[in-house]
């Protein structure tokens, strides 16, 4: 509000000056609307001792010195004035009372300028006062807005117009004040230098929406067409409010992402993009764009936009969700277990969205979860069947990843039904098939011969492992007699298992014995029969021949009495010797993976002084033939 003094300083100065000095007092500046009038208040003084009979005065325009011939505004002696002021100027004050107040009417812009007064007391007593008044011709009201208008704080806006025309009084009204408040007209007020103003006040509490609002004031003069309007835009200061920002953003890994933050404030805010307390970008602007090139899962998270100025701050967050295929699953858990133990295996991965996790073995699903990052597989009592390779597969709509892992179940040996012995010709082959973990040691026992053969004796035993199954093969050669009993024993740190191996295909064993031996025996019998027939025919021929005499006939010999000196003893001794020898051979070459075993002899040949049954029979037959 404008505070005005009741007694203007101007008049105080006049009163104090009454002491006989040349001086003039008038407002340094005064204003009036174009087309109206203005009264320039003026007082002057001179020394008391002069005591003039008549006091005259002159008003000049823009210069105080007569020699410069300035335009005369008013002259009391002659009433001769400059053409610009003809009919427009007259003196309102009484010069005899030292009042030089001037009235100017029908104001136009060219009348704006400096006005000087010169006192004329007669003779040489003339004085041009340096004091002057500047007239300002206006055509808009003056709207006064406080230098700082803050939203939420009450403010006073005033409309001021000059009221220095005694002939025309202005009336004020507000324009565009709807929603702001009701105006209050204070009326006519005197200013410090003796001029008058008409004032209207408007009180209201501004909001951010009022920023930039165009507020107007109108001055009108009754009974005239004169109207003057003035406008002012409200500069309302207010803290930032974030008005534009992305909602939650989903982006595929490797794509481009733009995050926008826009704020409304006055003055413009400092915008800052942050993540986890780290400033990513900032600028003084109404909006700020954060560009993320080829986003990765590491950039997934919450981003914050902070807007601040001198009047406050605001912040908002946006969540960026980077969609990506599952990472390669990791498997944590027991990978080696003893039969009967409980096994817990945890498979975990990371993806967005969460994947479908599946654990399977040999195409059989064992466990699965949907939209989870972890999967727990519980095997309460593992068995050898649980041993093997497992797969953990994670998949979502963006891809699939898998991890293989092996579970090793350790258990005592188990002898499988495939274990047996088989014979072909003079060879016996024994198969001991064992399932165990860890790998067992295998031994073959021949109780009748008090012989034990283990895997270290590679001349007789060949072993091959496939997974958890170990196949050991014992090969015996030269088995002319009935095959021996064979006991297979498998042993590891969890126990031992023994099995007497059954023989398969006994009839083939019989033909295997008969085959080579029978051929030799049959051949020997045929030779003996042929010899017998030949001897019989010879005897018959000798008996029937007349050239032989009874006394010369040799003794009759029968095949049963036919003997060669020393042959039977040699045959018996050789046979006993051969039957006492061990007939073990070496099976050197491995069987095929399909377990169709070869019967070729890769073992050591018998020594040259040893005899097989076939050789003994062949030698005996040769003796008989001779």
The full DSSP string for 185-237 is EEEEEE-TTS-EEEEEEEEE---GGGTT-EEEEEEE-TTS--EEEEEEE--EE
Provide the 8-state DSSP code for 352.
B
Residue 155 has pLDDT above 60, yes or no: yes
Answer yes or no: are the C-beta atoms of 162 and 197 closer than 8 Å: yes
- Indicate the pLDDT class of residue 291, thresholds 50, 70 and 90: very high
- In angstroms and rounded to an integer, the radius of gyration of the C-alpha atoms of the chain is 68
In this structure, of 101-110, 249-258, 496-505, 518-527, the range with the lowest mean pLDDT score is 518-527
Q: Which of 398, 371, 395 is nearest to 252 (CA)?
A: 398
- Whole-number average pLDDT of the chain: 80
Cα–Cα dist 11/193, whole Å: 9
CATH 2.60.40.10 placement within the chain: 18-137, 140-234, 240-322, 330-411, 416-504
Q: Provide the b/e sequence for 335-373 (b: ≥16 CB within 10 Å).
A: eebebeeebebebbbebbebbbbbbebeeeebbebeeeb
Residue 52 has pLDDT above 70, yes or no: yes
Q: Report CA dihedral (429, 435, 436, 442) to the nearest 10 degrees.
A: -10
Pick the CATH number of 330-411 from 3.90.1150.10, 2.60.40.10, 2.40.30.40, 3.40.50.300: 2.60.40.10
Residue 223 has pLDDT above 80, yes or no: yes
- The fold of the 240-322 domain, in CATH, is Immunoglobulin-like (2.60.40)
Q: Which of 455, 489, 493, 460 is nearest to 477 (CA)?
A: 460
Q: Which of 213, 209, 196 is nearest to 157 (CA)?
A: 213
Residue 414 has pLDDT above 90, yes or no: yes
3-state secondary structure of 509: helix
- Considering the domain 18-137 in this protein, what is its CATH number? 2.60.40.10
Cα–Cα dist 596/459, whole Å: 20
More confident call, 489 vs 540: 489
| Whole-number pLDDT of residue 577 | 37
- Indicate the pLDDT class of residue 445, thresholds 50, 70 and 90: very high
More confident call, 276 vs 557: 276
Beta bridge partners of 92: none
| Whole-number pLDDT of residue 537 | 63
Q: Provide the b/e sequence for 60-80 (b: ≥16 CB within 10 Å).
A: bbebbeeeeebebbbbeeeee
80-138: per-residue pLDDT in tens?
A: 899 999 999 999 999 989 999 999 999 999 999 999 999 988 888 888 898 999 999 99
At the top level of CATH, the class of 416-504 is mainly beta
140-234 has CATH 2.60.40.10 classification: yes
584 contact partners, CB below 8 Å, separation of at least 6: 451, 453, 460, 476, 477, 478, 603
Cα–Cα dist 135/164, whole Å: 11
């Amino acid at each position: 509000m404008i505070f005005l003094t009741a007694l203007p300083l101007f008049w105080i100065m006049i009163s104090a000056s009454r002491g006989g000095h040349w001086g003039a007092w008038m407002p340094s500046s005064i204003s009036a609307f174009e087309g109206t009038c203005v009264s320039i208040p003026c007082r002057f003084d001179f020394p008391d001792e002069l005591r003039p009979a008549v006091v005259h005065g002159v008003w000049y325009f823009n210069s105080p010195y007569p020699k410069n011939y300035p335009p005369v505004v008013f002259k009391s002696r002659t009433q001769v004035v400059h053409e610009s002021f003809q009919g427009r100027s007259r003196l309102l004050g009484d010069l005899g009372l030292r009042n030089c107040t001037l009235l100017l009417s029908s104001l136009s812009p060219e009348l704006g300028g400096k006005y000087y007064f010169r006192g004329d007391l007669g003779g040489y007593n003339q004085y041009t006062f340096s004091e002057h008044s500047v007239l300002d011709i206006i055509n808009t009201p003056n709207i006064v807005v406080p230098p700082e208008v803050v939203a939420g704080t009450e403010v006073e806006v005033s409309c001021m117009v000059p009221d220095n025309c005694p002939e025309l009084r202005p009336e004020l009204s507000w324009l565009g004040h709807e929603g702001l408040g009701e105006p209050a007209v204070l009326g006519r007020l005197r200013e410090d230098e003796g001029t008058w103003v008409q004032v209207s006040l408007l009180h209201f509490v501004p909001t951010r929406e009022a920023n930039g609002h165009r507020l107007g004031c109108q001055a009108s003069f009754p009974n005239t067409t004169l109207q003057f309007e003035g406008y002012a835009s409200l500069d309302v200061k207010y803290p930032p409010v974030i008005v534009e920002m992305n909602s939650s953003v989903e982006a595929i890994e490797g794509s481009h992402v733009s995050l926008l933050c826009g704020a409304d404030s006055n003055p413009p805010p400092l915008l800052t993009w942050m993540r986890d307390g780290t400033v990513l970008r900032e600028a003084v602007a109404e909006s700020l764009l954060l560009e993320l090139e080829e986003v990765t899962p590491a950039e997934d998270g919450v981003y914050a936009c902070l807007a601040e100025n001198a009047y406050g701050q605001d912040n908002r967050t946006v969540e960026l969700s980077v969609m990506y295929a599952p990472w390669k699953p990791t498997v944590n858990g027991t990978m080696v277990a003893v039969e009967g133990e409980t096994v817990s295996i945890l498979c975990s991965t990371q993806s967005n969205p969460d994947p479908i996790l599946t654990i399977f073995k040999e195409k059989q699903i064992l466990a699965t979860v949907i939209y989870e990052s972890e999967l727990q597989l519980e095997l309460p009592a593992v068995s050898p069947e649980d041993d093997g390779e497992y797969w953990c597969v994670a998949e979502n709509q963006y891809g699939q990843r898998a991890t293989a892992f092996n579970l090793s179940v350790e258990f005592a040996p188990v002898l499988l039904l495939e274990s047996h012995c088989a014979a072909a010709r003079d060879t016996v082959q024994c198969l001991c098939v064992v399932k165990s973990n860890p790998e067992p040691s295998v031994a073959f026992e021949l109780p009748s011969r008090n012989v034990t053969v283990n895997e270290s004796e590679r001349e007789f035993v060949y072993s091959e492992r496939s997974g958890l199954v170990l196949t050991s093969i014992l090969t015996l050669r030269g088995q002319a007699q009935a095959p021996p009993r064979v006991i297979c024993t498998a042993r590891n740190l969890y126990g031992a298992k023994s099995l007497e191996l059954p023989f398969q295909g006994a009839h083939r064993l019989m033909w295997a014995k008969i085959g080579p031996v029978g051929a030799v025996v049959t051949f020997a019998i045929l030779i003996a029969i042929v010899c017998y027939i030949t001897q019989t025919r010879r005897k018959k021929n000798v008996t029937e021949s007349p050239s032989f005499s009874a006394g010369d006939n040799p003794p009759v010999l029968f095949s049963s009495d036919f003997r060669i000196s020393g042959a039977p003893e040699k045959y018996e001794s050789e046979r006993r010797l051969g039957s006492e020898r061990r007939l073990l051979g070496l099976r050197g070459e491995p069987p095929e993976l399909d377990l169709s075993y070869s019967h070729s002899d890769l073992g050591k040949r018998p020594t040259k002084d040893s005899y097989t049954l076939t050789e003994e029979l062949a030698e005996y037959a040769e003796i008989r033939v001779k």
